[in-house]
Chains A and B, each alone.
Chain A
Amino acid sequence: MFRRQAVLLVGILAISVAAAALTLLWGNQPLLGLDLQGGVSVRLTATEPATEEMLDQSVEIIRNRVDALGVAEPEISRTVDGVMVSLPGVDDQERALELVGTTAELRFRPVCEVLPAAIPGTRGSEGSGNMTAEPFASCNLVRSGIVRPATGDDGVTSPEADHAEDFVILGGSGTGSTVGRRYVLGPTVLTGDALEDADADFIEFRWQVGITLKKGATGIDAFNAAAARCFRGGESCPVLQGYSNGVIAIVLDGEVITAPQIRAEGFERDRIVISGSFEKQDAEDVALALRYGSLPVELVAENTRVVSATIGQDSLDAGIVAGLVGLALVALFIIGYYRLLGLVAIVSLVVSGSLLWSIVAHLGTQSGLALTLAGVTGIIVAVGVSVDSNVVYFEHLKEDIRDGRTARSTVDRAFPIAFSTIVKADTASLIGAALLWWLTVGAVRGFAFYLGLATILDLVATYFFMGPMVRVLSRTTWFARRPGLFGLPASGAVPGPEATAGTP
């Protein structure tokens, strides 16, 4: 009997220490939710009925766009009628919102002129002349100043003014050879709809981007029509200085991702290659942008939530400090009241706490389950419930001793009774947690999960640590001789309240 208790005790201590050690060793850390580390979350709904496939594809596209932001744990998932995007810890929140929400269209535009980056201090202009024109309108319109595209202070057309049919001035995207240039572009001649696939290839020791276009009038034929003009270098697609052919810019999200020269008059469907001085990364990025340029369905932001990193940090600090102070107060109270038994209760709390931390950290690292403010609350509440398991047992011990049992005999007898009470009460908590987890959404779910987890761990710590520990303590000679040390009344006697050691 005694040996069994000792085995349980050593076992649970070993497990909790091992769990904590492994967590540290693997560098697992709890993944903090949006409200604790700042970030962006957007719930997008489709404007028209969308199939699961379309939504899945949208999820994929958004994920690819978001990857560029370098978010550690982006959470992008399909909902019934849209997409849920959660980006905890994202630095550039503006950009994140733009990326996520837009149904960016991939556009092919002839390049009329290449300008250097705008000089700082340039004033924006409203734009003048008839900016809107047919595809393949003559570039001379802009070059001669009859049409001036609208520009902002940075010298490029703002996203709001970037219409497909207009002459625009756009900057290069963040990577590759287009950086630091501004392109004066003609009206769109082709959109991303024409594309079937794109990928990055390593051919002849260089990275290239291969494009496959769709068949028919809206695909390869439209592209070849544009290619023919640019190859020859007509008014709509002039040969720029230093080039031998016309240039077509491929534009996504108002940025020129690449601007290849057209080196052939016509292309076969299955292979158009953009070659150039691509780094591997650039080639992959361009291919990705081409492939996933536009979403298959229009999505609008139904709910948006932005929390700055400072607010998140403040909440986290407040939660941690308040939690620690609260724990310290609980420890003071419980040790003051139950003495050594109180210490057992606190160690029991530490055992379940270390297991909880390990699990939370593991889930955070492996499954991306975030710890939110609601989850922290669930845990704080669970502290009270965990301590209660100890209180129920200790009060039972006191009562039995007052009823005339010896301390040692009551330890074995009271535990099953107290544990049955604890199981009943904890089961009710678990039922509640499980139902909330299944039936609700959002913050409530996080709360339910952590409350349920903490409740289960409370049962574990009570059964495997607290019970055995008290039984082991009851074998010591002190237990019988100095009951006051354990916050218990003297054995068998029926003392007045003054006789016990710890008065409230």
Chain B
Amino acid sequence: MIAVLRGLYAGETVVDFPRWWRVAALASGAALLVSLGSFGLRGLELGIDFAGGTAYEVVAPDASVSDARSILSRFDADGARIQLVDGETIRIRSDIDEPVRAAEIRDALSTDLGRVETFEQVGPTWGDEVTDKAVRALVVFFLVVALYISARLEWKMAAGALAAVAHDIVVSVGVYSLLGAEVTPATVVAFLTIMGYSLYDTIVVYDKVREMTGRLGATERYTYTELMNLALNRVAMRSINTSITSALPVLSLLVIGSVVLGATALREFALALLVGIVVGSYSSLFLAAAMVARLKEGEQRWVQVRDKLSGRGLLDGPTRAIGRSEASVPDARSGGPSGRASGPARRRPAPTARPAGTGGGAPPRPRKKRRR
């Protein structure tokens, strides 16, 4: 692990990403199944903002849950969910959505139980309205972003990015469903954040992929997958660093905000964000990339390259790592096809022998052979 990180830190191609894609696909498939299964069977615990109803938070150090229940039963609200949080706050949720009854209960709670710290009452139609709007926003968002990525990058990348985003959302929702955490407007914000982050991350990765395939692709010496692997290795350290810097504030929100300072509203929210950030980085490197590689390998140009290389027996075994000396072809953009004839790539001996499948790349560095 440390060796891998060191290699990545030094900008070496040390991870065989394509080999992991299969594992990732299986793992993600399983995660999706579990998420969808949980969503189908258990559903989501919808908060009152979506389902309608009433919520109270009462600070009552000496009162018990049964005290609260007896007050509520006076108002025929026996179905209410009553929780004791942090020892002195009683959280009550009922499906009463008539304003008058809700207010009566509130008055009763404040006279007989304790200080009502928060009170929220939502009518039955509000949730549908909000959900409709959110769903519409989501659909439009997907369409516009697909168009944008198609225009700036290409449609295959748009497909990969949206698939990765969808995966992240499904998994995050699945986590919420499994935990039985309540879905509030803050949760929706968390999901949207995850979406935005995942998309952002994927675009950064794709941009690197495009840079690499543009520069080295013209040489026709490597398959798309190999070039993708090079790009992923080079961008991996960025992804790790960014995940860390994005996760640190969220982790602090989770640990300090909710556990130490007791802002319990933040707990599930921060947890969802944390899961989303990790999953978002993972999906960019393993899912979004794999999908684009698969699509691109189907293009005639890359099929030809592949056929040519595999005719020479270069493609058996693990993905060939492209070493530093080959990778640093001067700008293909300026050089064009002529760049193929010049540059250090020429010096590369035909790697007929395939010691560890990587050896040919960097002759001046025998030291590195020992990895893996």
Residues on A lying within 8 angstroms of B by beta carbon are: 43, 45, 97, 101, 300-308, 310-311, 314-315, 317-319, 321-323, 325-327, 329-330, 333-334, 337, 373-374, 377-378, 380-381, 383-385, 387-388, 391-392, 395, 398-399, 402-404, 417, 420-421, 424-429, 431-433, 435-436, 438-444, 447-448, 451, 489, 494-497, 500, 503-504
| Contact assessment for A428 and B118 in the assembled complex, using a CB-CB cutoff below 8 Å | no
| Contact assessment for B140 and A439 in the assembled complex, using a CB-CB cutoff below 8 Å | yes
Chain A residues positioned under 8 Å from B60 (CB to CB): none
Chain A residues positioned under 8 Å from B120 (CB to CB): 303-306
Chain B residues positioned under 8 Å from A417 (CB to CB): 211
| Contact assessment for B185 and A421 in the assembled complex, using a CB-CB cutoff below 8 Å | no
CA distance A420 to B118 in the complex (A): 47
Min CB distance A122 to B, Å, is: 19
Chain A residues positioned under 8 Å from B256 (CB to CB): 318, 321-322, 325
CA distance A308 to B109 in the complex (A): 15
Min CB distance B7 to A, Å, is: 7
Chain B residues positioned under 8 Å from A391 (CB to CB): 238, 241-242, 245
Interface of B is mostly: helix
Chain B residues positioned under 8 Å from A323 (CB to CB): 249, 252-253
Min CB distance A41 to B, Å, is: 9
Partner of B199, one of A302, A318, A432, A497: A432
CA distance A426 to B148 in the complex (A): 12
Min CB distance B188 to A, Å, is: 6
Question: Do A403 and B207 form a contact, CB below 8 Å, given A322-B249, A384-B245?
Answer: no
Contact flags B117-144 to A (C-beta < 8 A → 1, else 0): 1111111011001100110110011001
In this assembly, does B116 line the interface, its C-beta being within 8 Å of a C-beta of chain A?
yes
| Contact assessment for B263 and A315 in the assembled complex, using a CB-CB cutoff below 8 Å | yes
Name B325's closest neighbour in chain A (CB-CB). Answer: A494
CA distance A157 to B316 in the complex (A): 92
In this assembly, does B203 line the interface, its C-beta being within 8 Å of a C-beta of chain A?
yes
CA distance A476 to B36 in the complex (A): 56
Stretch at the interface among B67-75, B286-294, B306-314, B360-368: B360-368
Min CB distance B358 to A, Å, is: 15
Give 13 new A-B contacts, CB below 8 A, not counting A318-B258, A402-B10: A303-B120, A306-B119, A308-B117, A314-B261, A319-B266, A326-B248, A334-B241, A381-B196, A383-B245, A387-B245, A395-B235, A426-B200, A497-B10
Chain B residues positioned under 8 Å from A443 (CB to CB): 185-186, 188-189
Q: Which of B331-352 touch A at CB < 8 Å?
A: none
Partner of A384, one of B102, B130, B246, B266: B246
Interface of A is mostly: helix
In this assembly, does B327 line the interface, its C-beta being within 8 Å of a C-beta of chain A?
yes
Q: Which of B248-269 touch A at CB < 8 Å?
A: 248-253, 256-258, 261-263, 265-266, 269
| Contact assessment for B149 and A428 in the assembled complex, using a CB-CB cutoff below 8 Å | yes
Question: Do A381 and B197 form a contact, CB below 8 Å, given A304-B120, A428-B145, A496-B367?
Answer: yes
CA distance A333 to B207 in the complex (A): 25
Contact flags B219-263 to A (C-beta < 8 A → 1, else 0): 000000000000000110110011011111111110011100111
Partner of A439, one of B118, B137, B208, B367: B137
| Contact assessment for B189 and A374 in the assembled complex, using a CB-CB cutoff below 8 Å | yes
Partner of A503, one of B6, B130, B204, B324: B6
In this assembly, does B20 line the interface, its C-beta being within 8 Å of a C-beta of chain A?
no
Chain B residues positioned under 8 Å from A503 (CB to CB): 6, 9
Chain B residues positioned under 8 Å from A420 (CB to CB): 207
Chain A residues positioned under 8 Å from B203 (CB to CB): 421, 424-425, 428
CA distance A327 to B200 in the complex (A): 21
CA distance A306 to B192 in the complex (A): 26
CA distance A98 to B189 in the complex (A): 32
Question: Do A384 and B242 form a contact, CB below 8 Å, given A403-B324, A431-B148?
Answer: yes
Min CB distance B85 to A, Å, is: 12
| Contact assessment for B249 and A326 in the assembled complex, using a CB-CB cutoff below 8 Å | yes
Partner of A497, one of B7, B115, B116, B123: B7
CA distance A456 to B344 in the complex (A): 41
Chain A residues positioned under 8 Å from B193 (CB to CB): 377-378, 381, 447, 451
Partner of A421, one of B126, B207, B241: B207
| Contact assessment for B118 and A307 in the assembled complex, using a CB-CB cutoff below 8 Å | yes
Name A500's closest neighbour in chain B (CB-CB). Answer: B10
Name A498's closest neighbour in chain B (CB-CB). Answer: B6
CA distance A436 to B139 in the complex (A): 11
In this assembly, does B372 line the interface, its C-beta being within 8 Å of a C-beta of chain A?
no
Partner of B141, one of A302, A317, A321, A435: A435
Q: Which 9 A-B pairs have CB atoms at the shortest separation, nearest pair first?
A: A384-B246, A326-B249, A326-B252, A318-B263, A322-B257, A403-B328, A439-B137, A497-B10, A443-B185
In this assembly, does B11 line the interface, its C-beta being within 8 Å of a C-beta of chain A?
yes
Chain B residues positioned under 8 Å from A403 (CB to CB): 324, 327-328
